[in-house]
A and B are shown apart, each in its own frame.
Chain A
Amino acid sequence: MMGLLRRAQSVVALLGILILAAIVSPTASDGARIFLEAGNLTDILRQISLIGIISLAMTFVILTGGIDLSVGSILALSTTLVAMGLTRAWQGASYSSHILWAILAAVAASTLAGALNGVVIASLRIQPFVVTLASMIGVRGLAKWLSRNENIDIGFGRDVAARFAEIFREKAIVIGSYVGAAALFWVLLSRTVFGRHVRAIGDNEKAAEYTGLPILATRIWVYSLSGLLSGFAGVLYAAENHQGNPNAGVAYELDAIAAVVIGGTRLSGGKGSISGTIVGTLIMGVLTNMLRLNNVDSNVEMMIKAVIIVLAVAVQRAE
């Protein structure tokens, strides 16, 4: 009941921002409010999808009491790898298997990077902040080294890479990926043993130990999932931007953490939900869209976001 109230509260906040955005929205020549146009609303969804996908796994990480600062760097690694895979000639392979293998390789490498985070954090018992800070630096370096510091352009010809970009920059695919991942992670958290363990460990690690829960394995899985989703977001990024970009995703970790926190997940772990994170992501997305439609200076936009983050957490504290 309390949880329902709290969730309802952030939904109310989201509705408030939606109404505000509709009211202050500029109008098109025919008098329609631009904010409410279907094209604009789906644009918002498309724009939040990457951060949205990353913040799903970030919710799991934070629920265990951890943090993952390396998501942006892993995304960059993934964009680089998928672009390298697609621009490499592969005689005799069909377009679909070439695309599939390029994506699989990029996502697998990203998952591995996440798993490495998890192994170091869980077995060496080093703070997640330190470990993922290190891999944020190291993985970024790896992406730049692999790409020799250059963007790898794709999708400007009639080749396999163009076909890839054409498919994966489609609004429906991008938004569908987010919705699908969100549904999957919602089920994972609320309906599986793994999800229960994630929250139990974050709520009270000592008690989890006294209950014989698989703390080590759960932590490794959580960071692996974070790597996997960051890698997948990287694939979408490469298609969207027609390039593998080793400098992509800078500060994405902060946006993802902000979405999780606005969604009511406790930074110390144990308490939070996927639905909250989705609402948090939407609040940030609608806010950005509203400010940009009204030509608000992007620096002012940052200042407003800062206030929103603190306000959101303060309101939840008051409960």
Chain B
Amino acid sequence: MESDRNSQPDLLQADGIRKHFGGVAALRAVHFALRTGEVHALIGENGAGKSTLAKILAGAVRPDSGTIAIDGHPAAIGTPLDAQRLGIGIIYQELDLFPSLTIGENMAIGNLGLREGSLVRSARLAAFCRPYLEQAGLHCSLQEPLGTLPIGKRQLLAVARALSMNARILLMDEPTSSLSGDAVERLFSLIRALRDRGVAIVYVSHKIDEIFRVCDRATVLRDGETIGTVEIAGTTSAEIIRLMVGRDLRMTVRPDRRTMGDVVLSVEGLTTHKLKSISFELRRGEVLGVAGLVGAGRSELGAALFGLDPIRSGVLRRAGVPIAPRSPGEAMRHGIGLTPEDRRDEGLMMSMSVLENGTLTVLPSMQRWGFLRGSREKSALAKVTDRIALHCPSTDAAVETLSGGNQQKVLLARWLLLDPEVLFLDDPTRGIDVGAKQDIYRAIDDLAATGKGVILVSSELPELLRCCDRILVLRDGQVAAVYDAAEATQEKIMAAATSAFGDRA
């Protein structure tokens, strides 16, 4: 696949890059080569390691091992300042700018290109900034606070800032994730102009249509490994999707098709700040999968059902009765539960014990005469921990001492104890080991078998195919497709999620 017909030497070459976060391997032996004056896509599913690699090249993350060479010379990129000296600039998905500082200050801060001493004078600053702002196509006052600029223009400012640092290599991490249509066009024409001037651009994305519009080559990552590098001109979107998802299905078999009951939750025209007119029905005993890229509105669907995001229009019905939960507490009273995507930040009390975390939703029923009964809590929790094979040294152990898989099980236990009729599981197996995943799949099977309605969000398509009866594919806050599990394939889902093939089912 790698074509060496081009005799131009590589501007940047990374070999054997490895990186572990805790016990999880984010990158294992990644290779990546970048040429002068090309736009090179770094593409892969969520969690494939794209952003980690970009951060390593930008000096924001240090690799465990591996070598990086620039112009054929070994380069040590230990800090973002090292990267700046080497001519590497990065534009993060969450822009690393300061909204309350002015545009000029944002350009100047941490900028080695601006040799000013410790005093910044506005005339010198203006002279310094002007050419780069013009290159980026930005016409604005340097005195304005950055916060007054729309997000699309902030993106352009981030590019101008990187240019003013004399970047020869520009890394862009999902640059279009929060841009509107015409802002995307402006960004693309800027990218093409920079390429023509000899800047090498690494374009991190999982949007296949964008790759075909703006990139020259693409390196595909999957599960932290380099799968291959292809010339965009000589490939098809089907080929790239195959490279992105083409892993073996090594899953336990899902149980026989379940018998489904009444509609336990129906959603009609649900619209929030992120969702546009979502409709579906969930039946007792059904597992409904939700697929889609990050930012497609998967978590926002949960937020709307669980009373976290205000509902702008649309009707929710629980067992036929219209409901409008305005807080998680209200949603819980309507029999809806949710395990959040980010178990550390949104789910668990890390310094509290397994027991205290597990019983948090059912505390009122654990008291006698106003006092909590430890024995009652322990026996209640024991019933569900057996079902999900939660392993911990003691239920008094702090949750932060457990492995990721067992942490997730504690979170699940909390909701199994409350036993809601509808449970929304937001990417429950993210970053946990294979064994724990199987335990969670079994818990999902059990929930469905006992007549609960389960909504399962996942970034792993094989997981959705293993667990779900139907799969809802979201794209840009809308339902892009709905598949029966029997007819769904990874390729179909990925195509619907990225719109590479339109809505063809």
Q: Are B372 and A196 touching (Cβ within 8 A)?
A: yes
Q: Are A207 and B348 touching (Cβ within 8 A)?
A: yes
What B residues does A191 contact at CB under 8 A? 371-372
Q: How far is the CA of A206 from the CA of B338 in the complex (A)?
A: 13
Say yes or no: is B367 at the interface (Cβ < 8 Å to chain A): yes
Q: Knowing A192-B372, A270-B352 are in contact, say whether A211-B360 is a contact too (CB < 8 A).
A: yes
Proximity bits, B362-388, A CB within 8 Å = 1, else 0 = 011011001110000000000000000
Say yes or no: is B145 at the interface (Cβ < 8 Å to chain A): no
Q: Knowing A192-B370, A203-B351, A271-B351 are in contact, say whether A210-B346 is a contact too (CB < 8 A).
A: yes
Q: Are B350 and A204 touching (Cβ within 8 A)?
A: yes
Q: Are A199 and B370 touching (Cβ within 8 A)?
A: no
* Closest chain A residue to B377, Cβ basis: A196
Proximity bits, A235-270, B CB within 8 Å = 1, else 0 = 000000000000000000000000000000010001
What A residues does B356 contact at CB under 8 A? 196, 199-200
Among A187, A193, A203, A204, point to the contact of B363 (Cβ < 8 A): A193
What B residues does A212 contact at CB under 8 A? 327-329, 331-332, 361
- For chain A, give the interface size range: 20 to 34
Nearest CB in chain B: distance from A253 CB, A? 25
* Closest chain B residue to A266, Cβ basis: B351
What A residues does B414 contact at CB under 8 A? 211
Say yes or no: is A89 at the interface (Cβ < 8 Å to chain B): no
Q: How far is the CA of A199 from the CA of B372 in the complex (A)?
A: 15
* Closest chain B residue to A195, Cβ basis: B372
Q: Are B372 and A193 touching (Cβ within 8 A)?
A: yes
Q: Are B347 and A207 touching (Cβ within 8 A)?
A: yes
What B residues does A199 contact at CB under 8 A? 349, 352, 356
Nearest CB in chain B: distance from A202 CB, A? 9
Q: Are A200 and B352 touching (Cβ within 8 A)?
A: yes
* Closest chain B residue to A193, Cβ basis: B363
Say yes or no: is A159 at the interface (Cβ < 8 Å to chain B): no
Say yes or no: is A2 at the interface (Cβ < 8 Å to chain B): yes
Q: Are B350 and A203 touching (Cβ within 8 A)?
A: yes
Q: How far is the CA of A259 from the CA of B71 in the complex (A)?
A: 60
Say yes or no: is B4 at the interface (Cβ < 8 Å to chain A): no
* Closest chain B residue to A190, Cβ basis: B372
What A residues does B366 contact at CB under 8 A? 193
What B residues does A270 contact at CB under 8 A? 349, 351-352
Q: Are A193 and B349 touching (Cβ within 8 A)?
A: no
Q: Are A206 and B328 touching (Cβ within 8 A)?
A: no
CB within 8 Å of B: which A188-224 residues: 191-193, 196-197, 199-200, 203-204, 206-214
Say yes or no: is B500 at the interface (Cβ < 8 Å to chain A): no
Say yes or no: is B345 at the interface (Cβ < 8 Å to chain A): yes
Among B340, B351, B363, B370, point to the contact of A210 (Cβ < 8 A): B340
Q: Are B372 and A203 touching (Cβ within 8 A)?
A: no
CB within 8 Å of B: which A1-34 residues: 1-2
Say yes or no: is B319 at the interface (Cβ < 8 Å to chain A): no
Say yes or no: is B398 at the interface (Cβ < 8 Å to chain A): yes
Among A192, A208, A214, point to the contact of B371 (Cβ < 8 A): A192
What B residues does A266 contact at CB under 8 A? 351
Q: Are A210 and B328 touching (Cβ within 8 A)?
A: yes
What B residues does A187 contact at CB under 8 A? 371
Q: Are B328 and A209 touching (Cβ within 8 A)?
A: yes
Q: Are B371 and A207 touching (Cβ within 8 A)?
A: no
Q: Are B349 and A203 touching (Cβ within 8 A)?
A: yes
What B residues does A2 contact at CB under 8 A? 398
Among A193, A200, A206, A271, point to the contact of B364 (Cβ < 8 A): A193
Q: How far is the CA of A266 from the CA of B351 in the complex (A)?
A: 11
What A residues does B351 contact at CB under 8 A? 203, 266, 270-271
What A residues does B371 contact at CB under 8 A? 187, 191-192
What A residues does B306 contact at CB under 8 A? 210
Among B329, B361, B398, point to the contact of A214 (Cβ < 8 A): B329
Q: How far is the CA of A193 from the CA of B363 in the complex (A)?
A: 6
Q: Are B328 and A211 touching (Cβ within 8 A)?
A: yes
* Closest chain B residue to A208, Cβ basis: B349
Q: Which of A187, A266, A271 has the most CB of B within 10 A?
A: A271
Q: Are A210 and B338 touching (Cβ within 8 A)?
A: yes
CB within 8 Å of A: which B321-346 residues: 327-329, 331-332, 338, 340, 345-346
Q: How far is the CA of A187 from the CA of B371 in the complex (A)?
A: 8
What A residues does B398 contact at CB under 8 A? 2
Nearest CB in chain A: distance from B371 CB, A? 5
Q: How far is the CA of A2 from the CA of B394 in the complex (A)?
A: 12
Q: How far is the CA of A271 from the CA of B346 in the complex (A)?
A: 18
* Closest chain A residue to B364, Cβ basis: A193
* Closest chain A residue to B365, Cβ basis: A193
Q: How far is the CA of A210 from the CA of B331 in the complex (A)?
A: 10
* Closest chain A residue to B360, Cβ basis: A211
Q: How far is the CA of A26 from the CA of B331 in the complex (A)?
A: 66
CB within 8 Å of A: which B202-228 residues: none
What B residues does A200 contact at CB under 8 A? 349, 352, 356, 360
Q: How far is the CA of A213 from the CA of B363 in the complex (A)?
A: 10
Q: Are A196 and B360 touching (Cβ within 8 A)?
A: yes
What A residues does B329 contact at CB under 8 A? 212-214
Q: How far is the CA of A211 from the CA of B359 in the complex (A)?
A: 11
Nearest CB in chain A: distance from B398 CB, A? 7
* Closest chain A residue to B401, Cβ basis: A2
Q: How far is the CA of A191 from the CA of B369 in the complex (A)?
A: 11
Q: Which of A191, A214, A266 has the most CB of B within 10 A?
A: A191
Among B332, B346, B372, point to the contact of A207 (Cβ < 8 A): B346
Q: How far is the CA of A1 from the CA of B393 in the complex (A)?
A: 11
Q: How far is the CA of A271 from the CA of B367 in the complex (A)?
A: 22
Nearest CB in chain B: distance from A217 CB, A? 11
Q: How far is the CA of A206 from the CA of B340 in the complex (A)?
A: 10
What B residues does A192 contact at CB under 8 A? 367, 370-372
Q: Which of B327, B338, B372 has the most CB of A within 10 A?
A: B372
Q: Which of A2, A187, A211, A214 has the most CB of B within 10 A?
A: A211
Q: Which of A199, A203, A212 has the most CB of B within 10 A?
A: A212
CB within 8 Å of A: which residues of B?
Answer: 306, 308, 327-329, 331-332, 338, 340, 345-352, 356, 360-361, 363-364, 366-367, 370-372, 396, 398, 414
The 8 closest A-B pairs by CB, nearest first: A203-B349, A212-B329, A212-B328, A193-B363, A212-B332, A191-B371, A271-B351, A204-B349
**Other 12 A-B pairs with CB < 8 A, given A193-B364, A200-B360, A212-B327:** A1-B396, A187-B371, A192-B367, A192-B372, A196-B363, A199-B356, A203-B349, A203-B352, A207-B345, A207-B348, A209-B308, A210-B308
CB within 8 Å of B: which residues of A?
Answer: 1-2, 187, 191-193, 196-197, 199-200, 203-204, 206-214, 266, 270-271
13 pairs from A and B in contact (CB 8 Å cutoff): A192-B371, A196-B356, A196-B360, A204-B348, A207-B345, A207-B349, A209-B308, A210-B306, A210-B346, A211-B328, A211-B361, A212-B331, A271-B351
